[in-house]
Amino acid sequence: MSAEFQKIDASKFRFVNESERLHDKKFEDKPIGYFKDAWIRFRKSRASVVAAVIILCVVLFSFIAPFCVKSHDQTFMVVTYAKKPPRVAFLRDLGYKTGCTSRSFSARSLMKALSTGVGAEDYTGKEQISFETAMQSDYMPILEITNAVTTIGADKTEVTTYTADIETYLEVGFIYKSIEQSELENILAWEKEHGKHVLYPLVESNEYCMDATDANFWYKSDAKGNPLTYNAKGTKLIKVKEYDPAFVLLDNYKRDADGNPIYYEYTGGGDVDTAQYKIRVLYVNYYEYLYGEEPNYFMGTDAQGRDLMLRLASGIKLSLFIAICVSVVNFMIGAFYGSTEGYYGGWIDLIMERISDILSGIPFIVVASLFQIHLAKKVGPVPSLLFAYFTTGWIGIAALVRTQFYRFKNQEYIMAARTLGAKDRRIIWKHIFPNALGTIITSAALIIPGTINYESMLSYLGIVKLGSSQQTSLGTLLSDAATIWTNYPHLMFFPAMMLSLLMICFNLFGNGLRDAFNPALRGTE
């Protein structure tokens, strides 16, 4: 069946979007630079990003920490507060236990520790304060008696051992000082201004004082340190062997003819400026008088009584300074040396490789030791250690660069550049070196944790002496804590924690750089 076609009038048609040009959407791709592409891939490694953030935080800590402590610097030393745990004043004011440790006490040692709080409150020697009442004092070193265990001793008598939390800064209690009259007047003025007691009554050196050099034996005791009290008839002093919260100590203060306690005693000197006085001070208040604030050490103190946080910040800066200097210098030396032998090859490569083999055969610990013995006295321990690293530390980078140059120097684009008349220097630094840069940067970044590790090891072993009042290193702090860390764990914990963070994070950071700068992964998601 045939269809019949009819011609349609053209006037019935009209153009749609006659004034517009219809075309397909044009997609444009912008080129991504080498480093931008590397940054995109680096961000995808969460472990590397976290490691970089931690490294940044550690570095910021090393620079910010000194500004958080306004009253002293890292050279500031208070031997009386040596080896003390962390104490944060504002946390203590909020009721948290800081600067304290848990310890076992016999009944006698517990009463001696409690006597510090009693003596601090009984300023006049007339208060008659019991142990239980003194527990509420701000100067009481015993914060809480947590446990008491009674056992049968060898002589068939009961022996009670107490476990208590003790505030080690308050444990210092009282000390004797010899001062000039001008300072005595300053202390008296400070007491009046601040309403706190620094001077406390002197103690008689008699049969009731166990140790005349220990200012904390202010109460009457026998030769073994047991507190004394009167018997029921009040006619004889008897020793107290068992702890009783209601017990009241008998003071052994020096008194004048009227029975008033004596707070200072003239010991020599001819005028106001040279007159010497013996005083007995409550050290926590004496510290505040000297330095304008109560003891405040965020990470405790080291074995010499210096602020461990400031020493740790100094150690981090020194360790990072050494590591970064070594990484940068060895990177430049290794890049130049490796590119030269890798590009030219032949007898030049043969001679240079033999030199590298000779140097690499010398143990680094021997090189460092020799430099410390013969050079450290002239230029100092840090420059001497840097020279030791510069002597052999570049060999690994040089070998890596040499391998990369052998890989790329015979590529077609290198041959094309040489054909067009490019000089060797341009071919090395403009064409070959950028292609090997990713692998080299990764290796240079991994030099940093290796350097920190070696520096810490050398300092810990005492081969390199980096410890002084002006500077220290992480290895030196670990070495100082090596023999005492079981009793004072904070001395080992904080340096070890920082060293571990730096080692782990720099390795993770280096792994992230390796993947980011890997040419085989460029452009991949």
Domain boundary residue, one of 243, 265, 291: 291
Residue 232 inside a domain? The answer is yes
Amino acid at 393: G
Residue 25 inside a domain? The answer is no
Model pLDDT, residue 201: 94
Model pLDDT, residue 155: 67
Residue 245 sits in the same domain as residue 339: no
**Who's near 134: CB < 8 A, 6+ residues apart?**
114, 117, 118, 121, 140
Residue 247 sits in the same domain as residue 122: yes
Average pLDDT value for the chain: 85
Q: Where is average pLDDT lowest: 99-108, 178-187, 417-426, 483-492?
A: 417-426
394 touches 334 (CB < 8 A): yes
Model pLDDT, residue 404: 82
Residue 191 sits in the same domain as residue 335: no
Residue 396 inside a domain? The answer is yes
**Who's near 29: CB < 8 A, 6+ residues apart?**
none
- Percent pLDDT > 90 in the chain is 30
Tokens of 310: 């400031």
Q: How many domains does the chain have?
A: 2
Residue 365 sits in the same domain as residue 331: yes
Q: What is the pLDDT of residues 463-500, one digit of tens each?
A: 888 777 778 888 889 988 888 888 899 999 999 999 99
Q: Is the pLDDT of residue 431 over 80?
A: no
Residue 111 sits in the same domain as residue 237: yes
Residues in the chain: 525
**For the chain, what percentages of helix, strand and coil (3-state, to nearest 5) are there?**
50, 15, 35
Calpha distance 425→34 (Å, rounded)? 22
Residue 378 sits in the same domain as residue 509: yes
Domain boundary residue, one of 258, 291, 324: 291
Residue 14 inside a domain? The answer is no
Calpha distance 451→454 (Å, rounded)? 5
Residue 310 sits in the same domain as residue 430: yes
Tokens of 296: 């405040």
Please choose, from the candidates 190, 384, 427, 157, the residue with its C-alpha nearest in 3D space to the C-alpha of residue 289. 190
Model pLDDT, residue 17: 57
Compute how many other C-beta atoms are within 10 angstroms of the C-beta atom of residue 455: 25
Would you state the torsion angle of the CA atoms of residues 498, 503, 508, 509, taken in this order, to the nearest 10 degrees? Answer: 80
Would you state the torsion angle of the CA atoms of residues 195, 196, 199, 205, taken in this order, to the nearest 10 degrees? Answer: 130
Residue 115 inside a domain? The answer is yes
Residue 218 sits in the same domain as residue 260: yes
Average confidence (pLDDT) over 269-287: 87
Amino acid at 202: L
Q: Is the pLDDT of residue 363 over 90?
A: no
Model pLDDT, residue 23: 54
Q: Where is average pLDDT lowest: 104-118, 417-431, 484-498?
A: 417-431
Average confidence (pLDDT) over 185-195: 92
Residue 404 inside a domain? The answer is yes
Residue 225 inside a domain? The answer is yes
Domain boundary residue, one of 265, 291, 317: 291
Model pLDDT, residue 375: 83
Beta strands in 181-263, from DSSP E residues, in sequence order = 199-200, 228-230, 237-239
Q: What is the SS3 assignment for 367?
A: helix
Residue 448 sits in the same domain as residue 384: yes
Compute how many other C-beta atoms are within 10 angstroms of the C-beta atom of residue 147: 11
Model pLDDT, residue 32: 66
Task: Give the helix/strand (H/E) hosting 146.
Answer: strand 142-152
The more confident residue out of 477 and 12 is 477
Q: Is the pLDDT of residue 339 over 50?
A: yes
Residue 362 sits in the same domain as residue 284: no
The band of 288, judged by pLDDT with boundaries at 50, 70 and 90, is very high
Tokens 């094309």 belong to 416
Tell me which residue range forms the domain holding 449: 51-62+306-521
Tokens of 409: 């120097």
Q: Is the pLDDT of residue 521 over 70?
A: no
Model pLDDT, residue 128: 83
142 touches 165 (CB < 8 A): yes
The band of 1, judged by pLDDT with boundaries at 50, 70 and 90, is very low
The more confident residue out of 96 and 203 is 203
Model pLDDT, residue 345: 83
Tokens of 27: 């997609």
| CATH code, 365 | 1.10.3720.10
Q: Where is average pLDDT lowest: 64-68, 122-126, 325-329?
A: 122-126
The band of 115, judged by pLDDT with boundaries at 50, 70 and 90, is very high
DSSP state of 21: -
DSSP state of 303: T
Residue 249 inside a domain? The answer is yes
Model pLDDT, residue 21: 57
Beta strands in 174-284, from DSSP E residues, in sequence order = 174-180, 199-200, 228-230, 237-239, 264-268, 276-282
Residue 256 sits in the same domain as residue 344: no
Calpha distance 99→308 (Å, rounded)? 13
Residue 272 sits in the same domain as residue 313: no
Calpha distance 441→448 (Å, rounded)? 12
